[in-house]
Every structure is written in C-alpha cells, then in structure tokens.
Amino acid sequence: MKALSKTIATAGLLLAGFTQSAISAEPGASLTQTVEARSTEDRARDGARHPAQTLAFFQVQQGQTVMEALPGGGWYTKILANYLGGEGTLYGVNYNDRMWPMFSFATEEWIAGRIASNSKFSSTVADFTDNGIRAKGYTFNTLPPEISGTVDRILFIRALHNLNRFEATAGTRSQALSAIRGALKDDGLVGVVQHRLPESAADEGADGSRGYLKQSAVIAMFEGAGFKLVDSAEINANPKDQPGAEDIVWRLPPSLATSKEDPELKEKLLAIGESDRMTLLFRKAD
C-alpha cells in the first residue's frame, strides 16, 4: 500500500508540473548530424517525433548496446543503426509470436509476416548502414541468456499500448517488462514514448485498446515491474490532442483512419497533428 501511494504521489507531482526535467534533451553534434543526414521523406515526421531530442533525453550514446521494442518499419531503427556505429549493438524485439493472432484484424499472411520480421531484423539493419553494427532480432520470450545484463538502453517508443491491452488475458505486459529488466545493465536506462490519455479521462478504454495510456498508469506498471522513474519530459507533448471518450489515436495523422471519406473532418484532425505523448525515463529500482 505504501509503494502504491508513493507511485501515485510521484505521478501526481509530475503531471501537475511540479517537477522539471533534470536531464538535457540537447543532442550532440554526431546525433544531430545522423538525424539530419536522412532523406527528406524520412525527416518528414521529425517535427512530431523529435528524434534527436528524444534520444538525447534517453542518453543514447555511440557504441552502446540498445534494444528497440517493436521496431516496425524501422523509422527509429535507421537512426539508431547509423548513430550507434560499428562498435554498437542493436536488438529489435517484437511481440511474442502468440500475441499476433490476438488482433481482430489479423490474417494468416499478416501474422506470418510479423513473425518473419524477427529473423529479418539483421538484414533490415544492413540495408540501413554498412558500418558493421551488430544486429539481431528477438521476441520478448526468446531473449537468450547471454544478453542478460548487457543492454545499455531499452526503448519503448509507442510500443506499450498493445502489450497492456492484452495484459489481463495473456500477461503480455508483465512478461515483456520482466524480460527487458533481465536484459538491462544495472546502470542501464529504459526510455518510453507513449500516446498519452488525460488523467481526467475515464479508466474505461484507457487500457491501450484505443492506443492511449495514462501517464500515471505507465509509471505504476514500470514501478510494479521493478523500475524507478528517473525523469520525464514534454518533448513529444501535443496539448491540441484532447481525445473524446471513444476517440482512437489512429484518427490522427499519419493514419487518419476515421476521416478518409470526410475531407472536413480530415482537415480538423490534420490541424491537431500527431498524438500527445509522454516521454519517460526509468532505471532498475534498488
């Protein structure tokens, strides 16, 4: 009970704005150069995602061993692979294979493609750079014993909502956080960027099924898994995003899932921009 009260108090202070980030989000020259060296197409979403500032806040440095949760199409992977360099290591970690069929829209072909992406992660990284970086793909339940305690940074960038969505029925979030805690160095850090639901919103629909999570809930889930909040930042905040009780995050750009046939609504959603996002930094608790 005391631990829960501490978690709620910590989250309340952060959300009330009583604490300010003590960690600099000012990127160094090498990180800035890596981000700016990408194509115009790759940089199109930088204004909403702030990759250089985000990675600087997470204290990602060249030569580190970094684990990226749910690398997807490789938007952040490309930056990380080129920035970490030949002395670095990059692991891409996906959902456990059994989780993909849980999505209502999943087809056999789609599931097969998601599962196959794990074994293709090394070649994907090789397509992004020839600097010699070591890369390997895993799932949360296939992390090998030899990487235990070796990872400097673990990044959950918009990767928590579905893990939490299926937690009640399949324990997906608990298993993932336990696995990454084992992989993290004692002085390692976990960086989180996640679509943020206002604290005043109802708890119904706040489980990640709409893409959103409450910041207090994310802090609580990490503290419950043996982590401690180090700092938070508003790098990826967007106060224009005020979702209603049934709004999904994918109504906003770039998905615009609810306005493809409604030009007027589409313009309103484009004016909001991408989602409001929390940016949090954790370490292992003592």
Integer-rounded Cα radius of gyration of the chain: 18
* Assigned fold of 2-242+278-284: Rossmann fold (3.40.50)
Confidence band (pLDDT; 50, 70, 90) for 81? very high
Using a pLDDT cut of 90, give the percent of the chain over it: 91
The model carries a pTM of: 0.92
DSSP character at residue 194? E
Structure tokens at 73: 């199409």
Structure tokens at 178: 């336990």
CB neighbours of residue 35 within 10 Å: 21
**Nearest-angstrom CA–CA distance, 111 and 116:** 9
Confidence band (pLDDT; 50, 70, 90) for 20? low
Residue 100 DSSP SS3 = helix
**Nearest-angstrom CA–CA distance, 127 and 233:** 32
**Per-domain residue ranges of the chain:** 2-242+278-284
Structure tokens at 93: 């970690």
Residue 155 DSSP SS3 = strand
**φ, ψ for residue 197, nearest 5 deg:** -95, 135
List Cβ neighbours of 227 (8 Å cut-off, separation of 6 or more).
Answer: 177, 181, 190, 282, 283, 284, 285
* Residue at token pair 């397509």: 127
Structure tokens at 153: 């940074």
If one compares 43 and 23, the residue with the highest pLDDT of the two is: 43
**Nearest-angstrom CA–CA distance, 261 and 172:** 35
pLDDT of 262-275, one tens digit each? 999 999 999 999 99
pLDDT of 230-285, one tens digit each? 999 999 999 999 999 999 999 999 999 999 999 999 999 999 999 999 999 999 99
